[in-house]
Amino acid sequence: MLKIEHIGIAVEDIEKSNALFEDLFGQPHYKIEEVESEHVKTAFFKVGDNKIELLEATDKKSPIAKFIKKKGEGIHHIAFEVDNIEEEVKRLSKKGFKILNEIPKQGADNKRVVFLHPKSTNGVLIELCQEIVDCD
């Protein structure tokens, strides 16, 4: 793993949360994006070398809606950047980590993503991220 790519925070209202985090960080978000496959709207903030991702559910059945219903707003996941997501999935599977989606899927902020089940990571949802590189 190369670094913490971002920390994801589940929020009920992304517009209100954007205003709150803009005040907190002293700067606006740099991107808002909807990830239809995950039923979320995201906003990204850059804080030094780090990123914070706010996640709002766009469907009552989405993982974020379920998370907020169960636990309330707050830290949802920690994402780590990797060089080769397929190799990292193989490595972690061999070590006994439970992989939620073995095949990487399109995530927000131009990333391919895989999630590790919190039951295998001391209760923390871990996201692996690999930058999508255009070959144009």
Tens of pLDDT, residues 68-115: 999 999 999 999 999 999 999 999 999 999 999 999 999 999 999 999
Residue with tokens 């089940």: 117
- The model carries a pTM of 0.92
- 6, pLDDT greater than 90: yes
Is the distance from CB of 18 to CB of 54 less than 8 angstroms? yes
Per-residue pLDDT at 134: 72
Chain segment 54-72, per-residue pLDDT in tens? 999 999 999 999 999 999 9
Planar angle of CA 10, 66, 44, nearest 5 degrees: 20
* Residue 100: both structure tokens together: 């939620």
Per-residue pLDDT at 135: 60
Per-residue pLDDT at 133: 82
Instruction: State the DSSP string of 57-76.
Output: ESSTTSHHHHHHHHH-SEEE
Per-residue pLDDT at 42: 98
- 136, pLDDT greater than 60: no
Please state, in angstroms and rounded to a whole number, the distance separating the CA atoms of residues 114 and 134: 20
Please state, in angstroms and rounded to a whole number, the distance separating the CA atoms of residues 112 and 93: 18
Q: Quick one: average pLDDT of 32-57?
A: 95
Per-residue pLDDT at 64: 97
Please state, in angstroms and rounded to a whole number, the distance separating the CA atoms of residues 60 and 129: 25
Tell me how long the chain is.
136
- 129, pLDDT greater than 60: yes
